[in-house]
Each structure stands twice: as C-alpha cells, then as structure tokens.
A = this chain, B = another copy of it.
Amino acid sequence: MCSAKPPPLPAAAPPGRSGGRVGGRVTLRELAQQLGVSVATVSNAYNRPDQLSAQLRQRILGAAQELGYQGPDPLARSLRRGRTGVIGVVYDAPLDYAFADPAAALFLGRVAHTIEQAGLNLLLLSSPGNLHPDAQPVRSASVDGFIVYCAAEASTLLGAVLERRLPTVLVDQRSHPAAVQVGIDDAAGASAAARHLAELGHRHIGVVSLELAPERRGGPVTPEREAQPGYQTTAERLRGYRSALPEARIYLTETEQNIPREGEQRAADLLRQHPQITALLCMSDVLAQGALSAAQQLGLSVPHDLSVIGYDDLPSSAALNLTTVWQPTAEKGDQVGQAMLHLLAGEAAPDVQLPTRLIVRGTTAPPPEQTAR
C-alpha cells in the first residue's frame, strides 16, 4: 500500500549510538561531569560564548555531539529564565472554524509573522467551551502572554486569561483596564455602509448578522437577544447599521457560523419572508458571498433587484465586485503583534483603533422602484 521506504535522508547527525545511552536523554550535568568541567561552564558554552575560551568551548560542543547531547533542555531553560518564548492565542470557537475564516487566517498570519521576528511562537488555544468549561487550556498554558481573538465578553475564557495577569492583547473587544485593546472602528464602517443604502433610497433593509452571543441560534433575532452582551464586533456593527438608518425598516437575522452556506440560507429565508427587502447588509464578506448565491437562487438580480454589502473586504471580494466595508485586517495583525512585543518589553502600549472605509463596487444600486416592490 505504501511506496517502498526510500533510503534514509541525508538527515540528522548519525543516531549517536556510539557513546550515548539508549533511552535516556543526556543532561548538561552529565556532559559537564564527563568533561570534568563545571555545569556553569557548559551552560556558558551554549549561552555566553564570551565567558570561556574558544578552545574549551569547542571541546564541550564536540563532546556534546559525541554523547548525543541535544543542547539545553528548553523546558528547564524556560523555567529558570522565567519566559517561554510562546504567546497563546485564545480563540472562542473550534479551531477548524478559525482556520476556515479567511479574515482570521490573514490576521493570525500577520500576528505570527510579527512576533516571529522576536523569536516568539504562537500557541493555539482554541477552546470549544463544551470541551473544557473551566478554560483549562488557558490556565495551564506555558506562555508569556495572551492574544484574545474572538471571545464573548462574558466568556469564561476571557476571565481565565485576565486572571493569569500576563501581558494580554484583546482584539476587537471592549477595552479593559488590564489589557491592551486593538480593534477597528466597527460602528463607523457599519454606519457608512448603511448610510450608503439610505442615500440610494432603500427603506427595507435586511441585516445578515454574525453571531450575537456564544449560544448558537440562527434565524430571526429577539430583542432580548439583541440586548444581551455578546460579541463586541457584532454588537458594534449592528449599532452602526441602526444608527444610520433611523427611517428604514430593518429585518434582522442571525447566522450560526461565518461561512457562505449560512449566509446563503439565512439570506434566502429572510428574502422569502420579507419580499419588500431591497438591500442586504451582511456583517462579513463571507456571508455576503452566501447572500449573493441566495439572490441568484431566488432569481433576484444584483444590484438591480437587490443590493448587497459585505464587511471585511477580503482579497476575493474585489473579484466578486462586492460593495463592502474595508478593514485593515493585515495591519490589525501587525499592531497586535507590536503591542504584544511592547508589553513583553515592559513598555506600556496604547489601545489602538483602526479605521474602516466603505468600498463601493457593483453590488449596490438604487432600489428597483420608488415604492417597495
């Protein structure tokens, strides 16, 4: 079934079956003993080459090679030094979801890229709440700091993170005295989008919302649910929409996941139930993409019969000619990384609020007639 085993790679130093013990790891102390030098000196050979003669250093490194010593144990080193070189990224949803969202992927990629420069790495701490209701992973993670990407306000996760009292950066969240906040002007972007529709003459507007609160519930939204504190991003965008549409009638539906299929389904339901809707405000481009499918499926031509606006301005949205709200996703990642580096250096870092901008493309137009259809 498998391809035959090829000859071993040029690979890694020979299995050191010469001197080294079979199973046990060689320790720094043993190496020192073998050589008849102090452990401090061996440690210095690795960490402070200027503290010993080049000659002795070579001898030590040589013997290490010989005995199969891999270099100082990272864990022990971290314990002693008091830092791990790892930043925890906490994410509220299952990781497969995180990776599936292009905006999240882009953002995380940039964060990783930034902190990588400083020799740090990212530890993914997703916590599908049901699996670890006590936020165990957050409590027991060996990290130097946390980046909280997408946790609801009341989340156990958020509480557990703050309890650790480590350098913490909150992304797209309410700002908090014990952490740095980096976000975008969600409400302003949403307002701009909604205003654009209002100016075009739309009066019956559907809103395809992201999750309002952690308990999954799709479909029409009750006022109680809208009022309850949940995801900051969703709440702000919704606020932005509403504030710019004092005159319009708003039809609000909630999706359970930020994926095209959800957007399609919810948008279709909404449009079927309220045929008077002439425009859709979607809280993400991913949802908007689904909404476009829904329109097609219902035989509505965009933008003639139906206007659609997204949020995020994903790279792929330009090709779709989607009118949307741009946000500096990549820069947000950079800023988060920078903020973390500052915190780790002991410096203060200010909260950051990045701008958003409406990008008008081809999916918006005046409603079909002056009166609702």
Q: Is the CB of B119 within 8 A of A109?
A: no
Chain B: which residue is nearest A71 at the CB level?
A: B139
| Interface assignment of A40: CB less than 8 Å from any CB of chain B | no
Q: A78-B142, A105-B100 are in contact. Are A353 and B117 (CB under 8 A)?
A: no
| Interface assignment of A136: CB less than 8 Å from any CB of chain B | yes
| Interface assignment of A86: CB less than 8 Å from any CB of chain B | yes
Of A159-167, A198-206, A245-253, which stretch is located at the interface?
A159-167
A153's partner among B9, B75, B97, B137 (CB-CB below 8 A) is: B9
Q: In the bound complex, how far is the Cα of B140 from the Cα of A124, in angstroms? A: 18
Chain B: which residue is nearest A187 at the CB level?
A: B3
A76 CB contacts on chain B under 8 angstroms? 79
Q: Is the CB of B99 within 8 A of A99?
A: yes
Q: In the bound complex, how far is the Cα of B121 from the Cα of A123, in angstroms? A: 7
A119 CB contacts on chain B under 8 angstroms? 136-137
Q: Is the CB of A353 within 8 A of B3?
A: yes
A136 CB contacts on chain B under 8 angstroms? 119
Residues of A121-161 contacting chain B, CB below 8 A: 121-126, 128, 131, 136-137, 139-142, 153-154, 158-160
Interface residue SS majority, chain A: mixed
Q: Is the CB of A75 within 8 A of B74?
A: no
Of A51-59, A173-181, A270-278, A362-370, which stretch is located at the interface?
A173-181
Distance from A244 Cβ to chain B, minimum over Cβ atoms (Å): 17
A131's partner among B74, B116, B140 (CB-CB below 8 A) is: B116
A141's partner among B74, B160, B175, B293 (CB-CB below 8 A) is: B74
| Chain A window 84-122, contacts with chain B (Cβ cutoff 8 Å), 1 for yes, 0 for no | 111000000011111110100110111011001101011
Q: List 16 A-B contacts (CB under 8 A).
A: A1-B353, A2-B351, A3-B174, A9-B162, A10-B154, A71-B140, A77-B140, A86-B142, A94-B109, A94-B113, A97-B109, A99-B109, A100-B109, A121-B141, A122-B123, A293-B319
Binding site for B on A (CB under 8 A): 1-3, 5-6, 8-13, 70-71, 74-79, 84-86, 94-100, 102, 105-106, 108-110, 112-113, 116-117, 119, 121-126, 128, 131, 136-137, 139-142, 153-154, 158-160, 162-165, 174-177, 181, 293, 319, 351, 353
